[in-house]
């Protein structure tokens, strides 16, 4: 009986140590990476304006923020995170709409880098188990698009 108690006690300590290791790994993962470079862009189409800030990180990863002011819709403001695959930047745009800052949305986006511009593509999206993504093996149209981003000076609005 004493051996069973000691065995259970040792397993408990091993489990607690394992939890402690997971906490330290989580803390390491939340370290904010410094950008290698930062570029700001602006796209306009009729009365729509989109401001985009792209921070290039290591391994072709990117982070940044985007503010979308689309006529007839609430302003969207949020962050982008993703990675370049060749000349195409695939990001997830996590944003809030209008005054409601408690509910967040997440949409995938594909931006083609052509010269110094970024072109927001149109692709077929699918939602599975609450996650929206661009459908693989389906082409993304970068020709018939509304938003072509031109490089601009970064301003206080895009410096979030």
> In this predicted model, what pLDDT tens digit does every residue of 89-148 receive, in sequence order?
999 999 999 888 889 999 999 999 999 999 999 988 888 888 887 888 889 999 999 999
Return the exposure string of 37-53: e unless at least 16 CB atoms fall within 10 Å of the residue's CB, then b: eebbbbbeeeeebbbbb
- What's the CA gap between 125 and 152, in Å, rounded? 30
Q: HSE (CB half, 13 Å, CA atoms) of 102?
A: 0
pLDDT of residue 14 exceeding 70, the answer is no
Does residue 149 contact residue 142 with C-beta atoms inside 8 Å? no
Q: Considering all CA atoms of the chain, what is the largest pairwise distance in Å, rounded to the nearest integer?
A: 79
pTM of the predicted structure, to 2 decimals: 0.74
Does residue 52 contact residue 58 with C-beta atoms inside 8 Å? no
Tokens 């601009």: give the residue: 152
35 pLDDT tier (thresholds 50, 70, 90): confident
Mean pLDDT of the 44-50 span: 95
């Amino acid at each position: 009986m004493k051996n069973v108690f000691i065995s259970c006690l040792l397993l408990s300590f091993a489990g607690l140590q394992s939890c402690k290791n997971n906490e330290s790994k989580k803390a390491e993962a939340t370290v904010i990476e410094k950008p290698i470079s930062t570029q700001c862009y602006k796209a306009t189409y009729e009365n729509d304006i989109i401001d985009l800030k792209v921070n290039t990180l290591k391994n072709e990863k990117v982070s940044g923020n985007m503010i979308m002011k689309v006529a007839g819709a609430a302003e969207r403001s949020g962050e982008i995170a993703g990675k370049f695959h060749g000349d195409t930047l695939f990001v997830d745009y996590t944003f809030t709409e209008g005054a409601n800052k408690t509910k967040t949305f997440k949409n995938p986006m594909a931006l083609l880098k052509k010269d110094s511009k970024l072109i927001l593509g149109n692709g077929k999206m699918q939602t599975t188990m609450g996650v929206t993504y661009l459908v693989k093996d389906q082409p993304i149209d970068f020709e018939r698009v509304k938003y072509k981003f031109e490089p601009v000076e970064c301003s206080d609005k895009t410096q979030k």
